[in-house]
Amino acid sequence: MAKKVNIGIIGFGNIGSAVADVIRKNHAVILANTGLDLRIKKVCDVRRVKAPFKVTSNALSIINDPGISVIVEAVGGVDPALKYIMSAIKHKKHVVTPNKEVIAKHMTEILGAARKNRVQVYFEGAVGGGIPIILPLRESLAGNQIAEIYGIVNGTTNYILSKMSKEGKEFDVVLAEAKKKGYAEPDPTSDIKGYDAAYKAAILAATAFGAHVEQKDIYCEGITKISQEDIQYADQIGYVIKLLAIARLVEGKLEVRVHPALVGKEHPLAAVSDNYNAIYVKGYPVGELMFYGQGAGGNPTASAIISDIIATANIKSKNRSAKLKKAKLRKIDDISSRYYIRLEAPDKSGVLAGISRAFASKKVSIAAVVQKEMVGNIATIVILIHKVPEKNLKAALKIVSKLPVVKKICNVIRII
């Protein structure tokens, strides 16, 4: 039996509308995964909004609606978001919000009211966009002593630093480009000064260490002083520069800070580039972990919000032991892939022509012939194949292996 969950969304911009969109498109899969029938009952926005459900400009008409059990707050900022959240809690609604600023600044107050009113307030989307980090910290790592948690939690600054690093341009130039491309806001202050990352640092500290941290107590330094010279020197000595949000327990005291840092190239965070986010966790007994993904945007954030909506229904046990279905399987011959082929051939003219003809006869198309090295009079040839059904490749290789100009097919490896 499906359990109906009526949802109200306050704020119908990028994120709010993505939530509605995904709930519509993934309705069947959510029902199958969780037994929940998610319904958007009403949305609120001060702008005119086209939507296939009731739209109001009065948030209270959602908060007061006795038919709605979960409110998604997607307004952003503190005012009026905090007012909406507190009012929803008092009206015994669960609240789901990706609003990092209001959670960072008012978490104690919000969670206190939630406890008192026996409702849940979840905020998976407030850190790392679609990356599951709050739930894994709270539940998967509940048996751990977390020593430190730090990460790349701001996509704009990571995009800028990555571009500076790859293209050798200065901060101001890259920032201007990022604004044009929509990777930076028209007013990027909160990102480049580190304020956005500081909100997330407070939320991570609260989640990992149960600690209430005021924004004023977080040391916060942005990336505006990072020059091309620093990036190049860092590179030469084996480091990349990243803006990190850090929460670390040292001798019983908590350090919470945001600043650029040199990260060794061997560190898993070093490979996190462009607008991606990643959060690194160290604890006992788990050792090192990293969670990587898209840290912002409507769709990834909607993933987090919907998982939180599902969590408010508390259907864990059903979900966890769902019945498996017999899968319709695709056999290995029926998959399609790109391929790497290494073969040996005597260095005669006509080798490649012969191989190409054989491949073409089975509709196998060569993407590149990348190497040709001689040992004695035997050449090693490496061929990359465009995406093709595996059975075609196998049929072609059968022909190739019998060509008089081919000595041996040494290896065939799929390319992911």
Active site members: 200
- Cα-based distances in Å from 276 to 5, 24, 51, 293, 295: 32, 26, 30, 6, 6
Choices 61-69, 174-182, 189-197, 310-318; region in contact with its own copies by CB under 8 A: 310-318
Task: Give the distance from CA 78 to its chain's centroid.
Answer: 25
Task: Tell which positions 173-212 bind its own copies, by CB under 8 A.
Answer: 205-206, 209-212
Pick 119 or 184: Cβ nearer its own copies = 119
For residue 110, give both structure tokens: 């919000």
Query: Is 13 a binder of its own copies (CB under 8 A)?
Result: no
Query: Is 376 a binder of its own copies (CB under 8 A)?
Result: no
- Cα-based distances in Å from 196 to 157, 200, 305: 10, 7, 19
Least distance from C-beta 314 to its own copies, angstroms? 6
Is there a cis peptide before residue 260, judged by omega within 30 degrees of 0? no
Task: Tell which positions 341-360 bind its own copies, by CB under 8 A.
Answer: 342
Query: Is 237 a binder of its own copies (CB under 8 A)?
Result: yes
- Classify the C-alpha dihedral 71-208-247-268 as positive or negative: negative
Among 213, 351, 379, 395, binds its own copies (CB under 8 A): 213
Among 78, 382, 403, 409, binds its own copies (CB under 8 A): 382
Task: Tell which positions 384-403 bind its own copies, by CB under 8 A.
Answer: 384
Check residue 22 and report its DSSP letter: H
- Cα-based distances in Å from 108 to 104, 115, 203: 9, 10, 11
Choices 49-57, 64-72, 171-179, 293-301; region in contact with its own copies by CB under 8 A: 293-301
Is there a cis peptide before residue 285, judged by omega within 30 degrees of 0? yes
Task: Tell which positions 138-177 bind its own copies, by CB under 8 A.
Answer: 138-145, 150
Residue with tokens 């259907």: 315
Residue type, 317: S
Choices 5-13, 67-75, 80-88, 259-267; region in contact with its own copies by CB under 8 A: 259-267
Pick 116 or 357: Cβ nearer its own copies = 116
Choices 7-15, 113-121, 167-175, 354-362; region in contact with its own copies by CB under 8 A: 113-121
Among 186, 324, 376, 402, binds its own copies (CB under 8 A): 324
Least distance from C-beta 262 to its own copies, angstroms? 4
Least distance from C-beta 20 to its own copies, angstroms? 12
For residue 327, give both structure tokens: 């899968």
Cα torsion at 157, 158, 163, 168 (round to 10°)?
A: 80
